[in-house]
Amino acid sequence: MTSAPRVSVVVLNWNGLADTRECLESLKAVSYPDYRVIVIDNGSREDEARALQSAFGDFARVVRSETNRGFAGGANIGIREALSQGSDYVLLLNNDTTVDPSFLSALVEAAQTLPALAAACPKTFFYETPEVIYSTGGKFSLWRGVAQQIGRGQGDRGQFERLERRGYADGVCMLIPANAIERVGLLDEDYFAYWEETDWCARAGHLGLSCYYVPGARIWHKAARSQAPDPEFHYRYRRNALLFVRKRGTGLQFLCALLMHLFGYAPLYFLRHPTKIRRAAAEARALLWHASNQPKERPLA
């Protein structure tokens, strides 16, 4: 690249100081010539913003949110900051990741060849098992209300070495052109956490933009570090899976997805794990939310 586009890397921290430190240390070694890092402290219990400012203030801009606005809200703070700095691309990156020094160069080089790009994502591995794939992006079904990461759990044997289109770019790491954000808007904060990147990619798809997986970019993810305790995770995940269908699909698709969850996935899960009653309560709470709430489109500018 003769003239490197400007990239802002947005990292959210929420009670995850040790992980964020390791992530930022790995970002320091990135070889890409024109990038800056924005850390959003998302209402951490301790004054982790101060600690990050002290340790990384010469490398990253640290912005403190007084409250936890979820992944969507915290990311939107960073996206606005990135766009105000004239960034050509925004990279959303989980704080519980470490990156290969060349990952950003690989992502941007691929992005420059894709004029109708919504977002690009790397080959992501499990941190604890570094040659096992966590995600290469994914696909979703409005009829079933599910999203599936492609390649998850597979050993890397060279089976995912082609640049390929995906239904969505995995939110653990996604590179988004500024002009795509201008067209699609910000992340939908109704989701708070989980499914917000899938929703964004679906909205981009309706505008004729596509997501891609870039095999030459590599990162490692400490899977499940940022999840709330199991009941809260299951509540939000199931609520948002159905919320996604209600927002992006038809009434018939929502009915079909609801029936699949009630009479397909739930019974199968509890046959395998009959002692996990707390999950049943969380999933029931998610369904009750849908019975008493009517989601609506929010202004996303």
pLDDT given for residue 145 in this prediction? 94
Tokens standing for residue 81: 């900051």
Q: Which amino acid is at 136?
A: T
Cβ atoms of residues 45 and 15 within 8 Å: yes
Tell which residue, 177, 159, 174, has the closest CA to residue 217.
174
Cβ atoms of residues 184 and 90 within 8 Å: no
Q: Which residues contact 17 (CB under 8 A, 6 or more apart)?
A: 44, 46, 48, 51, 52
Tell which residue, 69, 97, 46, 62, has the closest CA to residue 226.
97
Pairing of strands 35-42, 7-13: parallel
SS3 157: coil
Q: What is the pLDDT of residues 205-257, one digit of tens each?
A: 999 999 999 999 999 999 865 454 578 888 999 999 999 999 999 999 999 99
pLDDT given for residue 262 in this prediction? 83
SS3 187: coil
pLDDT given for residue 237 in this prediction? 92
CA distance linking residue 260 with residue 164, whole number of Å: 29
Q: Which residues of the chain have pLDDT under 70?
A: 1-2, 224-229, 266-277, 296-301
CA distance linking residue 33 with residue 36, whole number of Å: 10
Cβ atoms of residues 144 and 256 within 8 Å: yes
**Which residues make beta-bridge pairs with 9?**
37, 91
pLDDT given for residue 264 in this prediction? 78
Which pTM was predicted?
0.93
CA atoms within 13 A on the CB side of 18: 3
CA distance linking residue 239 with residue 147, whole number of Å: 14
pLDDT given for residue 153 in this prediction? 97
Q: Which residues contact 142 (CB under 8 A, 6 or more apart)?
A: 244, 245, 248, 249, 250, 253, 257
